[in-house]
């Protein structure tokens, strides 16, 4: 077995940089780049094979033994200037995200703990099997996350018997989510306003907001909308797969041009009165148009995309995006395979997300776009597959020329502006 000189690792570190991706610290010219306890060649190869890349200012500085180790570990070399620039970009993104509110508007983590109680899913997992955990959020430099309450509505969502039972099922689900959050109250807290989010951030805690995905679960009693508002919910997605007692859906629908039912009109009006944001993701084209005319407050799409980039029923056409901008609303862009590009053979990617954001900005303006990735509910892809990868989005936006002010808006500023306005409008309605 080849033995390494005890000075090998520190000396090598003087010439090398380790390029780490995502949530890892970038180390340049530091002895920390190489573990000084490694004293065998095989151990060094195993170590470097777990890293993303080495760089050397000039090839002649490479020790032959090191060069062999890099080759055997399949570690590529790159010009030092590229790694230094990447490090500068990383630190720019990190500093910005630590200074602003970084908010994603859609994650289905609650369904994972509800439907899989025996798998031990937890916000506190250090190596979470879910895309969301407290550790992953901190690694990705996120401040706040919407936890979306979704359950699979089986059967006819207009069936009176099913609708009568729905609220009881909903509140059982909500109790379970609340109990799980309570386990980590020293690290996180529930929020319903911008001020709540900012206060929790100042305390070093993660903010969790609540949204209901699919108004089927409120049944036919309008008082259930108030009950949700009183409990701290701040948005309701009007439907999910299939038409319900509130509106037509974009999927499994009897009529994509169909809109709100009579009860649905009352639900939207009640949401305006109570300061709940109306979410149009999953709804039909007809529902979009009717709500944009009816609502007295801005509305949102919490997890959707651009139909001009990829013409899919879950994505929003340019004409509607322009109406959304006039309404003062915002569309939060997801990263979901099958909805982002015509190539259905591959997963979605960070590049897809950026293309949708770019187009929406070009049509609706920078004040009307945000991020709702749909993690733990089908979202995720190459370059962005968990909350720990949120910083990759920021780095990519900087590279595309978005300013810090732009990124602040995209990462939560726009959505929080809508939330502020929805809650302000509610105070003006008798």
In this model, does residue 8 exceed pLDDT 60?
no
Q: Is 141 within 8 Å of 102 (Cβ atoms)?
A: yes
Quick check: 387 and 136 in contact, CB under 8 A? yes
Q: Is residue 399 part of a domain?
A: yes
Asked whether the predicted pLDDT for residue 21 surpasses 60, the reply is no
In a domain, 2, yes or no: no
Same domain for 138 and 57?
no
Residues facing 56 on adjacent strands: 16
Give the pLDDT of residue 1. Answer: 39
Which has more confidence, 63 or 200? 200
Q: Report the pLDDT value the prediction gives residue 28, as an integer from 0 to 100.
A: 31
Q: Measured between alpha carbons, how far apart are the two ends of the chain, in Å?
A: 81
Residue 87 belongs to some domain of the structure? no
Average pLDDT in the 172-200 region? 97
Looking at residue 66, its pLDDT comes to: 57
Does 25 lie in the same domain as 120? no
> What CATH number is associated with residue 304?
3.20.20.140
Residues 226 and 352 in one domain: yes
Q: pLDDT tens, 374-389?
A: 999 999 999 999 999 9
CA 357 to chain centre: 14
Q: Residue ranges of the alpha helices (H) in 142-296?
A: 160-182, 194-202, 223-230, 262-274, 285-294
Instruction: Say if 31 falls within a structural domain.
Output: yes
Confidence of residue 94 (pLDDT cuts 50, 70, 90): very high
Q: Collapsing DSSP states into helix, strand and coil, what is residue 163?
A: helix
Q: How confident is the model at residue 32 (pLDDT cuts 50, 70, 90)?
A: very low
Q: What is the rounded CA–CA span in Å between residue 422 and residue 430?
A: 14
How many domains is the chain partitioned into structurally?
2
Average pLDDT over residues 98-120: 92
Q: Which helix (H) or strand (E) holds 90?
A: helix 80-99
> Are residues 228 and 362 located together in one domain of the fold?
yes
Question: Do 102 and 52 belong together in one domain?
Answer: no
**Would you say residue 86 lies in a domain?**
no
Q: Are residues 167 and 137 in the same domain?
A: yes
- Same domain flag for 169 and 39: no
Is 279 within a domain? yes
Q: In angstroms, what is the C-alpha Rg of the chain?
A: 24
Same domain assignment for residues 132 and 215: yes
- Compute the average pLDDT of residues 302-322: 97
CA angle 287, 362, 307 (to 5 degrees): 40
Give which of 101, 82, 95, 339 is closest to 198, Cα–Cα: 101
Same domain, 105 and 252: yes
Residues in CB range of 60: below 8 A, 6 or more apart: none
Residues 6+ apart with CB under 8 A from 269: 294
Residue 83 lies in a domain: no
145 plus 66 within the same structural domain: no
What's the mean pLDDT when you consider all of the chain?
Answer: 86
Residue 411 lies in a domain: yes
In sequence order, the β-bridge partners of residue 77 are 54
Same domain, 74 and 97: no
Q: What is the pLDDT of residues 216-275, one digit of tens each?
A: 999 999 999 999 999 999 999 999 999 999 999 999 999 999 999 999 999 999 999 999
Angle at the Cα of 33 from the Cα atoms of 30 and 37, rounded to 5 degrees: 115
What pTM was computed for the model?
0.84
User: If you count them, how many residues does the chain have?
Assistant: 430
- Structural domain including 223 reads 93-426
Structure tokens at 93: 């993104």
pLDDT of residue 26: 32
Average pLDDT of the residues in 122-127: 83
- pLDDT over 50 at 23, yes or no: no
Highest mean pLDDT among 4-13, 110-119, 329-338: 329-338
Instruction: Indicate the burial class of 326 (C-beta count within 10 angstroms; 0-12, 13-18, 19 or more).
Output: exposed
How does residue 125 score in pLDDT terms, banded at 50, 70 and 90? confident
Residues 177 and 276 occupy one common structural domain = yes
Going by pLDDT thresholds of 50, 70 and 90, the confidence category of residue 80 is low
Domain end marker among 78, 103, 124: 78
Strands 188-190 and 206-213: parallel
């Amino acid at each position: 077995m080849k033995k390494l000189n005890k000075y090998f690792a520190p000396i090598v570190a003087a010439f090398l940089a380790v390029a780490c991706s995502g949530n890892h610290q970038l180390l340049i010219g530091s002895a920390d780049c190489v573990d000084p306890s490694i004293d065998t060649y095989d151990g060094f190869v195993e170590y470097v094979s777990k890293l993303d890349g080495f760089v050397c200012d000039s090839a002649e500085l490479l020790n032959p033994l090191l060069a062999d180790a890099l080759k055997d570990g399949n570690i590529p070399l790159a010009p030092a200037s590229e790694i230094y620039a990447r490090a500068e970009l990383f630190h720019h993104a990190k500093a910005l995200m630590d200074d602003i509110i970084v908010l994603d508007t859609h994650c289905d983590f609650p369904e994972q703990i509800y439907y899989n109680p025996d798998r031990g899913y937890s916000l506190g997992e250090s190596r979470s099997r879910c895309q969301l955990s407290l550790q992953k959020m901190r690694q990705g430099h996120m401040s706040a996350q919407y936890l979306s309450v979704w359950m699979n509505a089986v059967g006819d969502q207009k069936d009176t018997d099913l609708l009568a039972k729905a609220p009881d099922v909903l509140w059982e689900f909500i109790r379970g989510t609340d109990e799980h959050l309570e386990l980590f109250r020293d690290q996180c807290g529930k929020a319903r306003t911008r001020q709540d989010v900012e206060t929790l951030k100042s305390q070093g805690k993660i903010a969790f907001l609540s949204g209901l995905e699919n108004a089927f679960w409120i049944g036919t009693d309008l008082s259930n909308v108030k009950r949700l508002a009183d409990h701290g919910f701040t948005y309701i997605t009007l439907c999910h797969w299939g038409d319900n007692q509130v509106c037509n859906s974009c999927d499994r629908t009897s009529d994509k041009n169909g809109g709100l039912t009579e009860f649905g009109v009352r639900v939207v009006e009640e949401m305006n009165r109570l300061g709940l944001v109306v979410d149009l993701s999953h709804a039909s084209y007809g529902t979009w148009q009717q709500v944009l005319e009816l609502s007295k407050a801005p509305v949102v799409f919490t997890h959707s995309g651009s139909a001009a980039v990829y013409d899919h029923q879950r994505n929003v056409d340019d004409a509607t995006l322009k109406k959304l901008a006039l309404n003062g609303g915002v569309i939060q862009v997801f990263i979901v395979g099958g909805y982002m590009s015509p190539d259905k053979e591959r997963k979605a990617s960070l590049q897809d997300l950026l293309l949708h954001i770019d187009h929406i900005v070009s049509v609706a303006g920078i004040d009307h776009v945000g991020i709702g990735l749909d993690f733990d509910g089908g979202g995720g892809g190459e370059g962005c597959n968990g909350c720990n990868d949120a910083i990759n989005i920021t780095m990519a936006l900087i590279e595309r020329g978005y300013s810090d002010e732009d990124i602040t808006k995209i990462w939560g500023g726009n959505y929080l502006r809508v939330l502020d306005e929805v809650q302000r409008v509610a105070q003006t309605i008798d």
